[in-house]
Chain A
Amino acid sequence: MNQTLLDIAKWLESIPWSTELHESYYMYNWIESTHVVSLSLFLGMLFFIDFRMLGLTMTSVPASKIAMRLRTPMLIGFCVMIVTGLLLYFAVPVRVTQSIWFRIKFVLLILAGINAWYFNRKMEKSASTWDSQSKAPTSLRISVVLSLALWAGVITTGRLIAYDWYDCYRVQSHMLAWAAGCLAEQ
């Protein structure tokens, strides 16, 4: 699988736009800035939904109302982050593919998505019983705490991608090399 991922990354890198984007004067910087600033829109809305579920804000407002009203700006922010994230990957595909932090971030993103899907399903089924209470039921609160932890992990690992501590040319442990997708012939 590591070989396949590397082959795809190398193919993307061979596309002229990839190098042009990476070496552009401002485009790469603006895309990265947009990616970071739109965190406020996407995760800002999500954090407020989570805070409401934990009874930490706007407890006089029904929880499902907060979730529904903040969902649209949250999804707009999510779309912006996906597009800018894909462009950032496209600019430096080989290094990012072989970044242990990017791989962990990707796994955390998937787990956060599954958790969000589970939370939304449970909330829609049960909201009528607890909507006006200050806190969501315990099982949903666990999901919310997990959400906060997973997204904190996504932010942290996203930040760490820029650091080269575990880049392939530095890695000595076989386990780490395999996890990062470093191949012997490199």
Chain B
Amino acid sequence: MELLSIFEWMEASALGSIGKTYGGVYAIGQSLHLMSLTVLGGAVLVTDMRLLNVILRDVPSEVVEQNAHRWFRYAVLTIVLTGIFMAAAVALRMYYNQFFWAKMVSLSIGVLFVFCVKHPLLASRPHAEINPWVIRMLACASITVWFTVAATGRWIGFS
């Protein structure tokens, strides 16, 4: 099935119609998207700044990472759901927007990285047993990928 036809179907769907017809509902969706971005960014920054020994140095990094990851999961779910709603209303515009695709690629990489690499590694054993440089690189890569997701997401609106 061609990607373009999926986007055409999305825009013509009930979800797309609601977003296009009711500006207020669309705006609420955007606000929820922003609020979940805030929680996601907070979870990422709390975890990664702890892993880099910048904040909460007297709190075990295992505790910080475990607790923040729970909120990260909720935030990712909300962001994806509200993102689909927002994209549906302007699906064809998104299809032709380079920043949309940049965001989708970086979002996919970010989600795969956190759920398949970062969190499994950090949950596998005490952090003191992990090479500190591995932890620092994980934290830097995580901050980089989520910053890219947020920035490209905002630039969708400018292009």
- Contact flag (A, B; Cβ within 8 A): yes
Residue ranges of A at the interface with B (Cβ–Cβ < 8 Å): 29, 32-33, 36-37, 39-41, 43-45, 47-48, 51, 57-58, 60-61, 65-66, 69-70, 72-73, 152, 155-156, 159-160, 163, 165
The answer to whether A36 and B63 have CB atoms under 8 Å apart is: no
Q: How many A-B residue pairs have CB under 8 A?
A: 93
**Whole-angstrom distance between the Cβ of A35 and the nearest chain B Cβ:** 9
Proximity bits, B16-54, A CB within 8 Å = 1, else 0: 000000010001101100110111111111100100001
Q: Using Cβ atoms and an 8 Å threshold, which residues of chain A touch B68?
A: 48, 57
The answer to whether B38 and A40 have CB atoms under 8 Å apart is: yes
A-B contact sample (14 more), CB < 8 A, given A43-B42, A45-B42, A155-B31: A33-B151, A33-B154, A33-B155, A40-B37, A40-B40, A40-B41, A40-B45, A44-B41, A57-B67, A57-B70, A57-B71, A73-B54, A73-B55, A159-B34
Q: Using Cβ atoms and an 8 Å threshold, which residues of chain A touch B154?
A: 32-33, 36-37
The answer to whether A60 and B63 have CB atoms under 8 Å apart is: yes
The answer to whether A41 and B63 have CB atoms under 8 Å apart is: no
Q: Using Cβ atoms and an 8 Å threshold, which residues of chain A touch B35?
A: 152, 155
Q: Which residue of A lies closest to B54 (CB)?
A: A73
B59 at the binding interface (Cβ < 8 Å): yes
Interface residue from A43, A47, A66, A163 paired with B27 (Cβ < 8 Å): A163
